[in-house]
A and B are shown apart, each in its own frame.
Chain A
Amino acid sequence: MTLELRIDGPYSDEYTVEVVWGIAEAVRVVNHAAMSPSGLTRPQTVNAAATALGLAAMRLEATLKRLTTFLIDQQEAGRLAAAGAGSTAGAVANTAASLDQARSVAGQLKLALYGAASATNDLVVASPATGAEVKRS
């Protein structure tokens, strides 16, 4: 699939869904790449991928916050209903609590990936050319 990323839109229900499933597919592709002998050949790729995914986790924190805001705004505007015997307020509160927890662990993911990126920042594949100027394993 080809994922078109357009910050300036146009936005729609379908485009949001397409982008978010594109994220899931992109993670699958990076997984395949990391298992492939040609997709992961040097530590700089781990560094770059950890950096990018750390940034994604940071942006996910913001997205999860916005999902909570969306629900609360809809509830306050009286536009939401709950199916069956469920309470709308209860469902919104439960969803918001889980989204808050998700946001918190997205923050932990961001910190961990920032740490992994920092730890790998100066790693290179050893070679005769680099051996004289770097520490070797």
Chain B
Amino acid sequence: MSHRINNAVLNERAFRLPPGRRVAADTRSLELRPDGPHSPAYTTQVAWGVADAVHVLIYATGSHVAAGLPTPATAHEVLGALRTAALGLPQLFNQFGGFLAELLDAGRLADHVRDPAVSVSLAEDHLVAARAAAQALEREVERAQAAINGLYIPDHGDAPGGEGR
């Protein structure tokens, strides 16, 4: 497998899972239980819930922006929550890498197409890159949140200062 991935070929279809891999459970109503009970199916369901929730955000900030994002204060709140989400990702990717390495070391991994050690090594390389990207995402979202902090929509009759009006 190549380390180089062509960004141009990545679309929604590229992230489809093989039949049976995605949990059939509906994520329209997603129960979030940090204390469990946990299962592989629940882990997968919540991860897909993240993707589905960001899908809703696209609508809230796009075609429904007038209702979904009425003020810069909402955007500030959105950025704060996204930053919190990004903060949790590096640890998660560490968990994934550690789990795969543990299975490999225990001789409990197999692979349908190649030596599982190669797959785990490739996965670890990508997870390291994902950790770095998540950390950078958190920093940039924090910067955006700080920059938007003073912006507001004045009430009628206010005399806002600043340029750009």
Contact = CB atoms under 8 A, between A and B. Distances in A.
Interface of A: 1-7, 9-13, 15-17, 19-36, 38-56, 58-60, 62-63, 66-67, 70-71, 74-75, 78-92, 94-95, 97-99, 101-102, 105-120, 122-127, 130-131, 133-137
B68 to A, nearest CB: 4
B154 interface: yes
User: Which of the four size classes fits the interface of chain B?
Assistant: 35 or more
Contacts of A92: 151, 164
Given A16-B57, A21-B81, A124 B112 contact: yes
Interface string B1-33: 101010100111011010001110001111111
Given A79-B153, A80-B72, A119-B1, 9 more contacts: A1-B31, A13-B71, A16-B78, A80-B164, A88-B162, A91-B162, A120-B100, A125-B109, A137-B116
A38 B41 CA distance: 10
A46 B99 contact: yes
B30 A5 contact: yes
